[in-house]
Amino acid sequence: MALMAGIAAAGPIVIKFSHVVAENTPKGLAANKFRDLVKERMGDKVVVEVYPSSQLFDDDKVLEAMMLGDVQMAAPSLSKFDRYTKSLQLFDLPFLFQDMGAVDRFQQSKEGQELLNSMRKKGFIGLGYIHNGLKQLSSSKPMRVPADAAGMKFRIMASNVLAAQFNAMKAIPLKKPFSEVFILLQTRAIDGQENTWSNIYSQKYFEVQPYITESNHGVLDYMVVTSTEFWNDLPDDIRTELKQILDEAIAYGNAIALEKDTEDKQKIIDSKRTQIITLTPEERTQWVEVMKPVWKQFEEEIGKDLIDAAYKANQAH
């Protein structure tokens, strides 16, 4: 009731949507689509303001800001929630998903949908998943086998699974915000990083990293989150319509993610700024063997049943 009165008195409900990537990326375009559709269909009732490129918050601050009501929506990568839930660490397990089809099948499954509620007790609701793609390894030196990475410093997202993955390679993982990565690579303060083709392209990492190993070793996807309090306080009709529009925007972003993965990779190849290293099956097996023990390390925190369910999504066609 208080909110309804607030709407009448103060005009439309404002949703600040904060993210860290460029606008011309799957997440950036999905967020803009959400803003535009809300304007078109609910303009008198709700206004979405999108803040890209870490303009408003880095991912390490955005969830705290959401709790304080300074931002209403965000879509951090699934790697960035481990302070709030251990279950989502699942998505960081190396070589869990064979391709984005498997990721999508798992996310749409009963278990995947239940994970949207894994932070409810902490005050966050997941509203859906946005895809980006599989990660590649970029570096200042050529890497064909895991031993080539030994001793090198890699920027990682704030995830203990990813730290374990680089430790398994005898490399040195450093948790750093996305907004700092380019400069760290450019100044050679670090030797490499892992990311999708879309991020490697839009952040221009390929201009300062002479090698990219096409490893497809893990997934980078997002969960759109909002605060439970904000979401539950919305009038029912507004909440329902927003969710429908968001689903449409996500579907739009996910179609783009598939296209961008191929397109941005091709743009990187065409730039001739970096050499793309394609692994032989034998080389790839070495990466799998080195990284795979990470699963056991996190099996208890994540839950074996959940890992099994995700793994099964590779077969279900």
* 178 is a site residue for ligand LMR (CB under 6 A): yes
Under DSSP, is residue 229 helix (H, G, I), strand (E, B) or coil?
Answer: helix
Residue found under tokens 């450019």: 186
Cβ 68 to ligand LMR, closest distance in Å?
A: 21
Cβ 24 to ligand LMR, closest distance in Å?
A: 13
* 157 is a site residue for ligand LMR (CB under 6 A): yes
Cβ 142 to ligand LMR, closest distance in Å?
A: 22
Under DSSP, is residue 77 helix (H, G, I), strand (E, B) or coil?
Answer: strand
Residues 117-146 that bind ligand LMR (CB under 6 A): 132
Under DSSP, is residue 113 helix (H, G, I), strand (E, B) or coil?
Answer: helix
Q: What is the DSSP letter of 179?
A: G
Under DSSP, is residue 202 helix (H, G, I), strand (E, B) or coil?
Answer: helix
31 vs 46, beta carbon nearer ligand LMR? 31
Report how far apart, in Å, the C-alpha atoms of 4 and of each of 11, 117, 145, 217 are.
Answer: 10, 26, 60, 48
Residues 207-266 that bind ligand LMR (CB under 6 A): 220
Under DSSP, is residue 225 helix (H, G, I), strand (E, B) or coil?
Answer: strand
* 91 is a site residue for ligand LMR (CB under 6 A): no
Which residues are CB-neighbours of 152 under 8 A, at least 6 positions away?
139, 140, 141, 171, 172, 191, 192
* 199 is a site residue for ligand LMR (CB under 6 A): yes
* 195 is a site residue for ligand LMR (CB under 6 A): yes
Cβ 168 to ligand LMR, closest distance in Å?
A: 20
Cβ 181 to ligand LMR, closest distance in Å?
A: 7
Per the CB < 8 A criterion, the answer to whether 217 and 137 are in contact is yes
- Give the residues lining the site for ligand LMR (CB under 6 A): 20-21, 77, 132, 157, 178, 195, 199, 220
